[in-house]
A and B are shown apart, each in its own frame.
Chain A
């Protein structure tokens, strides 16, 4: 069964203090690894899709990387508006377009 584990559960940073979030996964053939951002009271908002080990994608202060067992979401010089829950999900080759999510990392960036 496909599984995703995210760490840490919660992370508190000062504005400008860079860090990384981890997403470890087991999947029967990775078809895609997805990062979403979720603000309180809202639905998940798509950030990145990674397909193969070694791939990297960037968007503003966020950079996602992928290995065969895990993905990292690097946050460079975060701002308070980056505070949110970051969700990681995988899609395998079984289960029609089914995403399996981790429990997320709650990020709080203080000014």
Chain B
């Protein structure tokens, strides 16, 4: 009965490659987020989608492209990976009218 799930859990890849991370929530929430957590544990928002519509787009390189095929899924595609993209990426969701964001387990990305 996983609430917010992410795949893969770990991702090791070479610089310059393109990769995708997937997120799914079975909570019936309307809004989903992508966060990046760096090596110092700083968690920073990247994108937010509400019912498949992009509503938050922080200052993120355009190599990062989110996509929401439906309101239960939010994917993150990263082109031309760089060393600085190494981090843990968290997906989160929040119910309509709610205040609390629920986080997934994270995807640990290592770019070599």
A contact face: mostly helix, strand, loop, or mixed: strand
What is the distance, in angstroms, from B34's C-beta to the closest C-beta of chain A? 12
9 contacts between A and B (CB under 8 A): A36-B103, A43-B103, A43-B106, A91-B99, A96-B31, A99-B45, A100-B45, A101-B43, A103-B41
- Are A42 and B99 in contact, CB atoms less than 8 angstroms apart? no
A38 to B56, CA, bound (A): 24
Which residues of B from 31 to 54 have beta carbons under 8 Å from A? 31, 40-45, 48, 50
Residues of chain B lying within 8 A (CB to CB) of residue A92: none
B14 within 8 A of A: no
A57 within 8 A of B: no
Query: Which bracket fits the contact residues of A?
Result: 20 to 34
A41 to B45, CA, bound (A): 19
B31, B44, B50, B56: the one contacting A95 at CB < 8 Å is B56
A78 within 8 A of B: no
- Are A32 and B56 in contact, CB atoms less than 8 angstroms apart? no
- Are A42 and B42 in contact, CB atoms less than 8 angstroms apart? no
Residues of chain A lying within 8 A (CB to CB) of residue B103: 36, 43-45
